[in-house]
Amino acid sequence: MKKVLMVCLGNICRSPLAEGILQSKVDANTVSVDSAGTAAYHVGNKPDERSIAVAKKYGLNIKNQRARKFVVKDFDEFDIIYAMDENNYQNILMLARNEEDEQKVKMILNESNPNKNLSVPDPYYGGNQGFENVYKMLDEACNFITKKI
Ligand code: 4NP
């Protein structure tokens, strides 16, 4: 079983979408996907209504997910840890205990745009178009992940 963790700041907008999208593309018997946030503001909450809505539009149900904070033990639990943006990436790396931990952490958009270190923009303070944009970027990245995983 390959275990993948999607990480953003609040674990209510971007990483719940990334979790839902990747899980929908892979065989659940061989790949498991979870998500977490580097901040604790929204722990225990459902995904943002706008993420739930854009997921539903594309046939995915993410409303049963609940936000949790990233913890050091996640380095032991997961094989690959995808950061949604540069800040998340740095915050996860700060918690790494050794090189093995560090090597698990990747910028998710480097899967679709190699070596560019692009960030998935935080859609929290914007409108629905931002969520649509995030969905499309994550869908493309997850297609690449699915091919190589
Ligand atoms: P996310 O978006 O990191 O994609 O879940 C955010 C959610 C909440 C906040 C910021 C970003 N916040 O400041 O509460």
9 lines ligand 1 (CB under 6 A): yes
**5 three-class SS:** strand
In this structure, the number of other CB atoms found within 10 A of the CB of residue 66 comes to 14
String of DSSP letters for 71-119: -TTHHHH-SEEEESSHHHHHHHHHH--SHHHHHTEEEGGGTTSTT--PP
Q: What is the 112 CA–ligand 1 centroid distance (Å)?
A: 23
Q: Is the CB of 13 under 6 A from ligand 1?
A: yes
Q: What atom in ligand 1 is closest to the CA of residue 41?
A: 14
Q: Report pLDDT digits (tens) over 27-65.
A: 999 999 999 999 999 999 999 999 999 999 999 999 999
- Rounded distance between C-alpha atoms, residue 57 and residue 99, angstroms: 40
pLDDT digits (tens, 9 = 90+) for 72-90: 999 999 999 999 999 999 9
Residues taking part in catalysis = 8, 14, 122
Of 6, 85, 122, best ligand 1 pocket probe by most atoms within 8 Å of the beta carbon: 122
- Note if the pTM is more than 0.85: yes
Place of tokens 């992940």: 145
**Ligand 1 neighbourhood includes 17 CB (under 6 angstroms):** no
**Where do the domains of the chain lie, and which CATH numbers do they carry?**
2-148 (3.40.50.2300)
Tokens 């790949």 map to which residue? 31
Summarize the confidence of residues 132-139 as an average pLDDT: 98
Closest by CA position to 37, among listed 12, 17, 55, 64: 12
Q: Give every CB contact of residue 126 below 8 A, 6+ residues apart in sequence.
A: none
DSSP bridge partners of 5 = 34, 81
**71-104: burial string, b at 16+ Cβ within 10 Å, e else:** eeebbeebebbbbbbeebbebbeeebeeeebeeb
Quickly state the pLDDT bin for 149 (edges 50, 70, 90): very high
Judge whether 108 and 6 are in contact, CB under 8 Å. Answer: yes
Ligand 1 near 74 CB (within 6 A): no
